[in-house]
Amino acid sequence: MSTKPIKLLIVDDSKVIRNRIARLTMDPRLPNLQIVGLAANGLEALELARQHKPELVTIDLTMPEMDGIECVGELVSAFPDINILVVSALSDKSTALTAMKRGARGFLHKPFSDDALVEALLELMKD
C-alpha cells in the first residue's frame, strides 16, 4: 500500500540551492515527498502555494521581490497548518525568532550539510 506523498515547495533565490534541496529530498530516510514547485522569491512562492497547497515549505530569507520573513507570514496566514523550514544564512538569534513568531516551525542555518537538511525535514514532519 503506497502512502500519499507530502507536497513540498522549495523557495530560494539560488537555483543551485533549490536544486540541491530537491536532490536531497530523494534521501531514503525521508518519507515520500512530492516537489510541487521551485520558487526564486516570495511572490513566486505565494503564487505556487495558491496553486498547489503544499504541506511543507523550505524557504530562504534574503530574496528579491518579497523576502522570506514576509512570505512566511503570508503563507501561514493563508495556510495555517503549513510546515515551514527556514533555510537561511542569517544566523543572528533575532532573525530566527522573528521567523518563528511569523509561523516558521524550524530554522536551519546555511551553510548546511546534507544530513542536517534531512534531519531538519524529519524533525519538522514529526509535528
Interface residues toward other proteins, by CB under 8 A? 13-17, 19-20, 23, 62-64, 88-95, 109-111, 113
CB atoms within 10 A of CB 44: 19
Exposed (0-12), middle (13-18) or buried (19+): which is 104, by Cβ within 10 Å?
A: buried
Least distance between other proteins and beta carbon 110 (Å): 5
Query: Which of residues 77 and 114 has its CB atom nearest to other proteins in the complex?
Result: 114
Q: Between 13 and 55, name the residue whose CB sits nearer to other proteins.
A: 13
Grid cell for residue 65: 521581490
Tell the smallest beta-carbon distance from residue 20 to other proteins (Å): 5
CB of 86 to other proteins, least distance (A): 12
Burial class (CB in 10 A: 0-12, 13-18, 19+), 110: middle
